[in-house]
Chains A and B, each alone.
Chain A
Amino acid sequence: MAGDPLQEVVLTTKLDKVLGWARKYSLFQYPFVTACCGMEFMSTSASHYDTDRFGAAFPRFSPRQADLLMVVGTITHKQAPILKRVYDQMCEPKWVVAFGVCATSGGFYQNYGSVPGIDCFLPVDMYIPGCPPRPETVIDALLKLQERIQNQRHAVL
């Protein structure tokens, strides 16, 4: 509408889009680090690769303050109830990333001890392959996750 003074100062959009935009750039992650993938996770979050550039770096060590659960490393059957509890403590909305093959599928562990992939008891949004994954792979997954967050529905009560 030409000549509408509101057009100069107001941006119209959808609520879903605004919330998606806000949430994808303020991912607070809870790193659940159990194994060697942790080293790669550290190098990815530290200054060389710096996931902070994508608004997805701030680690919270309380699940209650986090909305992205990074499961980094092998999950054993002994560990599984702990991880489930951490997930249950997180507030909605929340996302889960399986970092590395062990979290994704159990990796080369196929025995009495290991969970064959955390998707056996958690809903996983993004799987990152690799043993361990390269930082570029992790960043790619983060960007894809952000894209998904941007485009998903954000229910508002």
Chain B
Amino acid sequence: MPKNSASPLYDVLKPVFGDKIEARQELKGREALRVSPAALLEVVRHLKNSLGFDFLMDLSGADYSGYPGHQGDPLCVSYQLFGATTRARAWLKVYLPLEGAMVDSLSHEFACANWYERECWDMFGVHFKGHPNLKRLLLYEEFVGHPLRKDYPIMRMQPLIPMRNAVDYESVAVARRKEAEEASAPKAGN
């Protein structure tokens, strides 16, 4: 790839990987490539070894359950790569199902992926295959579930020590939602 090449990454990768590059998305002038989860490691190795993307800038998770217009698997892991000599960026996304979300770990390609992936596991429950130490990064070991998933009750707390006077926000939230649903539901007989 020539230095400062303007040719979109899609055109570079599509002939090499074919169907493994599933789609191309555009967001604010930047292209994101939707990669098949099974091929992620292969694509990243190619980017790193042949195209000079030598820095994993960021790895983040997102849960698109119920997101307007979203199709397919809801759980997304998004990778930002950067080439220090080419000054080019690559943005890859993989989409995973909520149950048994699993994708290859990049921690053997980029050491910094180690903690990113632990955080992503902690918050979204994405299992990174081949990670040397996949345990929670921010939350405590006793925590059950993955709080940034949409199906985690937004107000659920899991205290480690007994709490007194604490408002049970989870029940409050459930009651409020029920009230709102009842208010908006069409009344029988009308």
Q: Is the interface of A mostly helix, strand, loop or mixed?
A: loop
Q: Is the interface of B mostly helix, strand, loop or mixed?
A: loop
User: How far apart are A112's CB and chain B's nearest CB, in angstroms?
Assistant: 4
Listed stretches A57-65, A115-123, A144-152; interface member: A115-123
Task: Tally B residues with Cβ within 8 Å of A.
Answer: 20
Taking CB atoms, residues of chain A closer than 8 Å to B159 are: 77, 80, 115, 120
Chain A positions 93-111 with a Cβ under 8 Å from a chain B Cβ: 110-111
Taking CB atoms, residues of chain A closer than 8 Å to B162 are: 121
Q: Using A77-B140, A78-B140 as known contacts, say yes or no to A112 and B158 having CB atoms under 8 A apart.
A: yes
Taking CB atoms, residues of chain B closer than 8 Å to A119 are: 165
A84 within 8 A of B: yes
User: How far apart are A114's CB and chain B's nearest CB, in angstroms?
Assistant: 8
Taking CB atoms, residues of chain A closer than 8 Å to B139 are: 78, 113
User: How far apart are A87's CB and chain B's nearest CB, in angstroms?
Assistant: 11
The residue in chain B whose Cβ has the minimal distance to the Cβ of A110 is B169
Are the C-beta atoms of A81 and B167 separated by less than 8 Å? no
Are the C-beta atoms of A121 and B169 separated by less than 8 Å? no
Of A78, A112, A120, the contact of B163 (CB 8 Å cutoff): A120
Q: Using A116-B166, A120-B166 as known contacts, say yes or no to A80 and B147 having CB atoms under 8 A apart.
A: no
Are the C-beta atoms of B163 and A111 separated by less than 8 Å? no
Taking CB atoms, residues of chain A closer than 8 Å to B174 are: none
User: How far apart are A110's CB and chain B's nearest CB, in angstroms?
Assistant: 6
Q: Using A116-B167, A116-B169 as known contacts, say yes or no to A110 and B158 having CB atoms under 8 A apart.
A: no
- Chosen A-B contacts, 12 in total, with CB atoms closer than 8 Å, are A77-B160, A78-B139, A81-B160, A81-B161, A111-B157, A112-B147, A112-B157, A115-B163, A119-B165, A120-B159, A120-B164, A121-B164
Which A residues have a C-beta under 8 Å from some C-beta of B? 77-78, 80-81, 84, 110-113, 115-117, 119-121
